[in-house]
Amino acid sequence: MIDLRSDTVTQPTAEMRRAMANAIVGDNVIDVDPTVDQLERETAAVLGKAAALFMPSGTMANQVGVRVHCERGTEFLCEADCHIYQYEQGAFAQLSGLVARTITGDCGVLGVEHLIGTIRPENEHMVRTRLLCLENTHNRWGGRVVPQESIDAACLWAHEQSLKTHLDGARIWNASAATGIDVARLAAPFDSVSVCFSKGLGAPVGSALAGSQAFIDEARRARKLFGGGMRQAGIIAAGALHALHNHRARLHFDHEAAQQIAYEASRLPALSIRGGRVDTNIVILDIDPLWGTASELQSRLFASGLDCFAIDDQAIRLVTHMNVTPEQVQRAGCILRDVMAMVGTMH
């Protein structure tokens, strides 16, 4: 089976397993786990922030971030298809009493032109707007890299309106690899940024939240509240640290593999690439309803040896990663072509 469901399905390398087995650990709730501490310090430095906090998941990193920035009963702005809104169970409402105001961007990109007029006036009838959240790369728009000039302008606008800014940078490593822009530059306009180690970088567990020291001090309290305090967490932090040191330089291989799959898909008339392009390691294919549905295509691909996700009624997502070989990428393109040739057997 060629597993392209997500870049989270990777297996730790032998070197990563050794690093995890040999990690120096301590109780990171009572005081300090030295390996977690090293990971946090290095992550903060890479992102150009004062401090960082190790998290068990990207969802927790995002939800702690929005909670610390916003008082209960306030609102944040976000793109309508973003992960924080679509894939985190509305946790901002359930856990922190916050409201999301979703704004439809241009292929996932929120420009200042989309944001003007979205801040609530100071009025006792209305919720107060406190935060702007952006996502880079943008998952539901096929790993789209958000142009840095758009991010700079949106964050400048937000700060001029006295809003805080948060980046869901789960795949910021991919954005950096695709553009050649340093990760710290990508993160610079934001008051906080979340990053993931278990997606493109191939660690088994873990994310981080970065920002000012005062922000991270509050975030640590919120992490404990959410059940994210972990004791001898250096064992998993060592995997993340190994990934940070060794797996960023190879991300362009995943991007090239995604381009190869996208090229094969572009030759098939019943499929279209969402947004018309593939920037990084995610390929989202919209399916002509005359051919069939996403669940039908997903089932037929699975039966032929290719696993992917149906992300809505008429779209599938394929994600390349470090455990996919060039031969599997080529085979995936052939499977896609052969299955799509079954038109007429569907509807």
pLDDT at 343: 62
Q: Which amino acid is at 179?
A: T
Same domain? For 217 and 254 the reply is no
Same domain? For 41 and 176 the reply is yes
Residue 347 predicted with pLDDT over 90: no
Residue 319 predicted with pLDDT over 60: yes
242 assigned to some structural domain? yes
Averaged pLDDT, 127-154: 98
**Cβ-contact 314, 293 below 8 angstroms:** yes
| Calpha distance 51→53 (Å, rounded) | 7
Same domain? For 242 and 259 the reply is no
Q: Would the CA dihedral through 174, 93, 221, 164 be positive or negative?
A: positive
**Domains identified in the chain, total number:** 2
Looking up residue 338, the CATH number of its domain turns out to be 3.90.1150.10
pLDDT at 342: 82
Averaged pLDDT, 124-145: 97
pLDDT at 259: 98
Residue 344 predicted with pLDDT over 60: no
Same domain? For 196 and 228 the reply is yes
Q: DSSP letters along 241-294, please?
A: HHHHHHSSTTHHHHHHHHHHHHHHHHT-TTEEEGGG---SSEEEEEE-TTT--H
Same domain? For 170 and 39 the reply is yes
66 assigned to some structural domain? yes
Same domain? For 255 and 160 the reply is no
pLDDT tens-digit readout, 40-82? 999 999 999 999 999 999 999 999 999 999 999 999 999 999 9
Residue 171 predicted with pLDDT over 80: yes
2 assigned to some structural domain? no
Looking up residue 39, the CATH number of its domain turns out to be 3.40.640.10
Same domain? For 216 and 284 the reply is no
Same domain? For 139 and 287 the reply is no
Same domain? For 262 and 114 the reply is no
7 assigned to some structural domain? no
**Cβ-contact 50, 162 below 8 angstroms:** no
Instruction: Report the predicted TM-score, pTM, of the whole model to 2 decimal places.
Output: 0.96
Domain boundary among 222, 246, 270: 246
Residue 275 predicted with pLDDT over 80: yes
Quick one: pLDDT band at residue 135, thresholds 50, 70, 90? very high
Averaged pLDDT, 177-199: 98
pLDDT tens-digit readout, 85-107? 999 999 999 999 999 999 999 99
> Which structural domain, as residue segments, surrounds residue 289?
250-345
Which distant-in-sequence residues (6+ apart) come within 8 Å of 344 by Cβ?
Answer: none
CA 103 to chain centre: 19
Same domain? For 273 and 217 the reply is no
188 assigned to some structural domain? yes
Residue 144 predicted with pLDDT over 60: yes
Averaged pLDDT, 221-234: 97
Same domain? For 166 and 263 the reply is no
CA 195 to chain centre: 7
